[in-house]
Amino acid sequence: MFKILVVEDDKNLQKLMTAVLNQNGYSVLSAMDGLQALEVLDVLHVDLIICDIMMPNMDGYTLTDTLRKLNNNLPILMVTAKEDINDKRTGFLVGTDDYMVKPVDMDEMVLRVASLLRRSRIANEHRLTIGEVQLDYDTLTVSRSGKSILLPKKEFYLLFKLLSYPKQIFTRQQLMGEIWGMDSEAEERTVDVHIKRLREKFADFTEFKIVTVRGLGYKAERSL
């Protein structure tokens, strides 16, 4: 079971987030500010943090910056009371992974948490092997028989995502949200273009293929 740390000084919101996350199968820890969060992280494993920005003692920016300087790369979903581009810029610069604005839509929060956890799992695996084919997340390369193909970042992430969950169908919207980000202004057709390029590049690979599921989206099938 994934453990999520909710860092929020509003007790009512903290309780609501905890209840919703528990209902969705997560184990939830809580802290009232960044200092308490660091104390929790010193003794317990956490898979993801949901963190408010404005808090006493240590705010969300400082907490995130502290963790990143300690090379702690667990996903962080930052929450703020106002939709200000400067807040978002600061948040992303210190290392947050995603962003939500209050009042928090609980359904959207659950979707973003699931997306961040899946993305984190893939990133932490770093390498995927299918027969003689190896996908290396760190170098964005696909290798077979001593030859390597370097892919553009989005193409690699898309291929890695599909092959990490063989036979699972992903809608274009799901792929857009996880590869390009839920706030991306790119059109869903962008997914089709990237799929077409991947098919062309790996047309002679028998180890896997990308299948179109009419009316739904795409899935990968592995022969090994």
The pLDDT assigned to 161 comes to: 86
Tens digits of residue pLDDT in 103-152: 999 999 999 998 888 777 766 667 888 989 999 987 899 999 889 999 99
pTM value is 0.60
CA-CA distance, 213 to 180, in Å (whole number)?
Answer: 21
Predicted confidence (pLDDT) per residue in 2-57, tens digit: 889 999 999 999 999 999 999 999 999 999 999 999 999 988 888 899 999 999 99
> Does the pLDDT of residue 189 top 70, yes or no?
yes
pLDDT of residue 224: 66
What is the per-residue pLDDT for 119?
74
Q: Report the range of poorest mean pLDDT among 26-35, 111-120, 156-165, 198-207.
A: 111-120
Residue 13's pLDDT is what?
94
What's the pLDDT band for 65 if we cut at 50, 70, 90?
Answer: very high
Indicate whether 210 pLDDT > 90: yes
Which tokens is 164 given? 């990490």
- Could you tell me the pLDDT band of residue 184, with boundaries at 50, 70 and 90? low
pLDDT at 84 over 80: no
41 contacts 5 by C-beta, under 8 angstroms:
yes
Q: Residue 211's pLDDT band (boundaries 50, 70, 90)?
A: very high
* CATH numbers and ranges of domains, the chain: 3-122 (3.40.50.2300), 126-222 (1.10.10.10)
* Token pair belonging to 151: 């892919």
6-44: b (≥16 Cβ within 10 Å) or e: bbbbbeebbebbbebbeebebebbbbbbbbbbbebbeee
* CA-based nearest residue to 40, from 11, 13, 74: 74
Q: What is the DSSP letter of 218?
A: E
Please check the confidence at residue 200 and state whether its pLDDT lies above 70: yes
Token output for 123: 């990133």
Q: What is the pLDDT of residues 86-96, one digit of tens each?
A: 777 888 888 89
Give the number of other CB atoms < 10 A from CB of residue 152.
Answer: 11
